[in-house]
């Protein structure tokens, strides 16, 4: 059980990084950014080409992939979502799905649909701690993920831009009257969430030694489930939801239900929506008409 818990935490840390992007964007502009899973895929490909073609150090490639996906997130927000900000939510949602397909099949067109092996730039070392076995790559994934979550929390709570993000999420019109640049704040939010997704893509490609243009579809949906489970729009809730989904999925595999692990995850989403629609850490808020 300890081994499965560890494996679940490793997988959950990746879901948590992705779920944070979903929850931040939703908290700011009430948009479910279904292209977010494909930004994760783009991060994996950026890391692949930086290491394989330019022969960069893994950590340098990781940082540059985060910068690249942050820029991609800002570009997507500027071109696809900003013109629709005053439109209906369904229009923005359909656009998000369209951007997702554009990224996926754009990569299929240019690079093919076949999986590629990710360069193993870090030699795997296995550690045995009693009944628990772990590798240095698992420790790296968990450590980097927790570090990025802590940095995100510090940015949101301690910086001027973080205060602007919180103000815009509460009332964008009032924030604008107080002198906050709403467009810049929203772009920064997309950049931050996309950078986390890019880091997750590089880490998971290193872990599984594989990447392909459709690799972001399923993790993206599961991370959305994680964000809803924890309480969408709440940053600690997204992180908690990611870890819970990771542990649930690993437990299902360990108990012999590997064929049904996706169904279990989506079943949890249905259950949460029925029992507690606001999520684990969410609060029930009544909207005035």
Comparing C-alpha atoms, which of 243, 237, 147, 156 is closest to residue 196?
A: 147
Query: Residue 150 in 3-state DSSP?
Result: helix
Instruction: Give domain limits for the chain.
Output: 14-216
What is the reported pLDDT for 94?
Answer: 92
Q: Which residue blocks in the chain are alpha helix, DSSP H?
A: 2-29, 36-52, 58-76, 89-111, 136-158, 160-170, 172-177, 182-208, 217-230, 235-254, 261-275
- CB of 7 within 8 A of CB of 131? no
- What is the spatial distance between Cα 246 and Cα 243, in angstroms, rounded to a whole number? 5
Q: pLDDT tens string for the chain (289 positions)?
A: 778 888 888 999 999 999 999 999 988 888 889 899 999 999 999 999 999 999 999 999 999 999 999 999 999 999 999 998 888 888 988 999 999 999 999 999 999 989 999 998 888 888 888 788 888 999 999 999 999 999 999 999 999 999 999 999 888 889 998 899 999 999 999 999 999 999 999 999 999 999 999 999 989 989 998 998 888 888 888 899 999 999 888 888 888 888 888 888 888 888 887 888 888 887 655 544 4
pTM comes to 0.91
């Amino acid at each position: 059980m300890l081994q499965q818990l560890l494996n679940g935490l490793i997988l959950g840390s990746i879901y948590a990084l992705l779920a944070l992007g979903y929850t931040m964007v939703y908290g700011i502009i009430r948009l479910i950014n279904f292209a977010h899973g494909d930004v994760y895929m783009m991060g994996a490909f950026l890391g692949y080409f930086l290491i394989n073609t330019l022969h960069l150090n893994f950590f340098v490639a990781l940082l540059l992939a985060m910068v690249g996906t942050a820029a991609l997130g800002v570009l997507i927000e500027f071109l696809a979502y900003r013109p629709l900000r005053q439109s209906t939510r369904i229009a923005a949602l359909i656009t998000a799905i369209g951007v997702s397909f554009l990224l996926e099949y754009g990569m299929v067109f240019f690079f093919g649909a076949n999986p590629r092996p990710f360069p193993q730039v870090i030699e795997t070392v296995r550690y045995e701690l009693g009944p628990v076995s772990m590798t240095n790559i698992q420790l790296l994934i968990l450590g980097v993920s927790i570090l990025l979550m802590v940095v995100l929390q510090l940015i949101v709570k301690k910086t001027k831009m973080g205060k602007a993000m919180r103000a815009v999420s509460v009332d964008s019109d009032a924030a604008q009257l107080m002198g906050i640049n709403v467009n810049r704040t929203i772009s920064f939010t997309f950049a931050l969430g996309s950078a986390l997704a890019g880091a997750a893509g590089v880490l998971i490609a290193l872990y599984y030694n594989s990447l392909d243009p459709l690799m972001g579809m399923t993790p993206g949906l599961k991370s959305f489930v994680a964000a809803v489970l924890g309480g969408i729009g709440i940053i600690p809730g997204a992180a908690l939801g990611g870890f819970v989904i990771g542990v649930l999925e690993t437990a299902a595999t360990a108990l012999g239900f590997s064929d049904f692990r996706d169904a279990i995850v989506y079943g949890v989403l249905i259950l949460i929506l029925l029992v507690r629609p606001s999520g684990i850490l969410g609060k029930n808020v009544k909207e005035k008409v």
